[in-house]
Amino acid sequence: MEEPGQLKRALIDATAGALSGAISRTVTSPLDVIKIRFQVQLEPTTQWALLRKDVYGPSKYTGMLQATKDIFREEGLRGFWRGNVPALLMVMPYTSIQFTVLHKLKTLASGSSKSGDHIHLSPYLSYVSGALAGCAATIGSYPFDLLRTILASQGEPKVYPSMRSAFVDIIETRGFQGLYAGLTPTLVEIVPYAGLQFGTYDTFKRWTMAWNHYRSSDGSRTDYTLSSFQLFLCGLAAGTSAKAVCHPLDVVKKRYQVKFQPFSTE
């Protein structure tokens, strides 16, 4: 059984993760909106493909700078935060569920509720724990992810002026199951993504701890706690690696999410 102190720590970690996720989501919303616009655009953006006008129609967005200018001109500054409300409603339960389930799975795998003991899990168990935690978090928060993608992907004129109008239309036209449109490709994406993210994060932490041990002047030292900067670098490297590998699956997911919407070009 977990100690009360460990349960409290898990709750604190989940809450901190949810708040930090909400802040980072708000700050990076403009980049996320631009990314989604490119992901759901069927026309290519590469110059060689654009020259083949007999095959491809004109592309609305052809580059990051051009997309930024067009969104600002057509939608104003608020356009860069389109879909941010459902994104915040998604990221808070997603992060909370993810960290809570991850902590529970690692506790079961390691036989200890202490976070310090979880670092010694095998890479395989770290990957599996991360993948399962990502699946649980995705299922628990998916309707908000769908609404976020729909609102962020539509340009002008808007089909859905608000999250409520999009929610009502989906329920009326497609039923409750419509809120989970695209869940299958999302789970196909999140399994390798979450597994890589948390698995490589633990791996990078172990490597950094070994480096700290190597650099230590006292070979008998057993406390090789990572600095905040080292943790940041491990998280950055793990997140970047996972996103780079799984980005094609994210594009497929976004296409499925907007496939049956009124503004879809498919």
Question: 265 pLDDT band (50/70/90 cuts)?
Answer: very low
User: Which pLDDT does position 116 carry in this prediction?
Assistant: 64
With beta carbons less than 8 A apart as the criterion, state whether 57 and 43 touch: yes
H/E element, 233? helix 228-258
Q: What is the pLDDT of residues 88-133, one digit of tens each?
A: 888 888 888 888 888 888 888 777 766 666 676 777 888 888 899 9
With beta carbons less than 8 A apart as the criterion, state whether 165 and 230 touch: no
Of 193, 6, 190, 13, nearest in space to 96 by CA: 13
- Name the E strands within the chain: none
Q: Please state the pTM of the whole predicted model.
A: 0.73
Identity at 189, one-letter amino acid code = E
Task: Please report, for residues 7, 93, 240, the alpha-carbon distance to residue 106 in angstroms, rounded to integers and kept in the order given.
Answer: 13, 20, 23
With beta carbons less than 8 A apart as the criterion, state whether 153 and 255 touch: no
Q: Is 133 helix (H, G, I), strand (E, B) or coil?
A: helix
pLDDT at 51 exceeding the cut of 70: no
Q: Enter the tokens of residue 262.
A: 């009124």
